[in-house]
Amino acid sequence: MVLKNYLLTLRNVYTKSVTRLYPEEIMELPDAFRGQQHLDMDKCVGCGICSQVCPNKVIEIVKCGKWYPQFDNGHCLFCGLCIDFCPNGALSMTKHFELCSWDRQGTIYRPDQISVPNKAELEGRTGGYTK
């Protein structure tokens, strides 16, 4: 038994690793990945449809200059309904997924926090939203 395990270990030393050293190494995410929402404040008219269709009551329309959606991603299931139903195409998904927080307040994203002009900057490990 010991010899069998030893041989198994030895064999795997020379095979390609199947694991990844996260968080140092991030896998390539597909374009259809559903991560943090991005809000285009120029397109949003504050109609609240995104808030109404959200099955988990993630979105609250708040005053931020004008009225815009605010997301509590602690409840979000990333179904994409808010994006599909937005009449103005103001919402989209990014590949930003590291959204954990030490407290409940930390999962709430104000409109101005998810509307950074350069969407590409928000994606991936090096970007992300600043809280």
Residues contributing to the site for ligand SF4 (CB under 6 A): 44-50, 54-56, 58-59, 69, 71, 76-82, 86, 88, 90-91
- Closest approach of ligand SF4 to the CB of residue 125, in Å: 21
What distance in Å separates the CA atoms of residue 26 and residue 33, rounded to the nearest whole number?
14
Q: Which is nearer to ligand SF4, 61 or 128 (CB)?
A: 61
3-class DSSP assignment, residue 69? strand
What distance in Å separates the CA atoms of residue 59 and residue 61, rounded to the nearest whole number?
7
- Closest approach of ligand SF4 to the CB of residue 55, in Å: 6
Torsion sign (Cα): 82, 88, 90, 92: positive
Q: Which is nearer to ligand SF4, 115 or 128 (CB)?
A: 115
